[in-house]
Structure 1
Amino acid sequence: MGTGDLSIAGSANGGIDGSPGFADSEARFSITDLSREFAVTPRTLRFYEDEGLIHPTRRGTTRLYSRADRVRLAWILRGRAVGFSLADIRELLDMYAPGPARLPQIEATLMKSRERIAALHEQRAAIDATIAELEQFCTTVEAQLLRPNP
């Protein structure tokens, strides 16, 4: 699974819906396993660990990631891919509760997603305005090039 395919469902993570709390924590993955699977560097995984977003266990100097860590990493990368800040991602992961208590997490995820969509629409409008301005500028400059020199 590369960064372009961040869908997580079914038996790959132990949860029906890819929710962080539904993952089987028995399986262990090395830093190399997850780096390759998600096309990220080992430094990226260590950074997310330092930020408290994933929690590998240690066997000597070796980090061992659980299925829960793997699912959390997929959620982190999905959130980053759509523009969520690490603070937003942390908030959404931290409020996760398995079972019926998930409603607040689902509502918060929806709210944050809608806020991100609104921000992207604003950015698109600003980009469209800048493009229009630059196109007009190019038209003006081209017109000057076509004028005969005195």
Structure 2
Amino acid sequence: MTEVRLTFKDMCAKFDVTPRTLRYYEYIELLAPEKQGRARFYGAREVARLTLILRGRRFGFSLEEIRQWLLIYRQKGTQTQLEQWLDMADRQLADLTRQQADLQSSITDLRALRETAAAEIERLRAVTAAQS
């Protein structure tokens, strides 16, 4: 089986991230590509890590939360990392559920206000038509 080895440019393209993003993730030690001179190469470990990072970002986790979670694996192993993941997921699910309720309330209020404005426009048109 061949080892995955992506260039910097390939990694950006594969994950649809900017070079700045990839460099930043390296700077804050989320990624550690192999370096040969100025070139960077990303193996299977870095591909897996970036997959987890981007998934974590999509779920709303901060980069620091993701960084701490990734460190757990190296320091304490898989079980501890998975236990931490469950705690993080539960907190994030509660937060997203609250945000969802807030959004639904805002949508309901906006729809009601829109309907009121539409009804007022119709009333004003009727008054204007009656005066003509």
TM-score category of the 2 structures, normalised to the smaller one = 0.7 to 0.9
TM-score by length of 1: 0.74
Alignment counterpart, residue 24 of structure 2, candidates 36, 40, 47: 47
Find the counterpart in structure 1 of residue 117 from structure 2: 141
Q: TM-score, normalised by structure 2?
A: 0.84
- Higher RCO (Cα < 8 Å, 6 or more apart): 1
Instruction: Give the count of matched residue pairs.
Output: 126
Residues 95-117 of structure 1: CA deviation (Å, up to 9, x unaligned):
1149x932111011111111111
1:105 paired with 2:81, answer yes
Runs ≥4 in structure 1, deviation > 4 angstroms? none
Aligned-residue sequence identity (percent) comes to 36
Q: 1:79 aligned to 2:79?
A: no
Larger helix percent: 2
Task: Report how far residue 27 of structure 1 moved.
Answer: 4.7
Unaligned runs of 5+ in 2: none
Give the whole-Å Cα distance in 2 for the aligned partners of 1:36 and 1:140. 48
Q: What CA deviation, in whole Å up to 9, does each residue of 1:69-127 have, x standing for no partner? A: 121111111111211110110011011149x9321110111111111111111111101
Is the radius of gyration larger for structure 1 or structure 2? Answer: 2
Q: Is the 8 A contact 1:97 1:105 kept in 2?
A: no
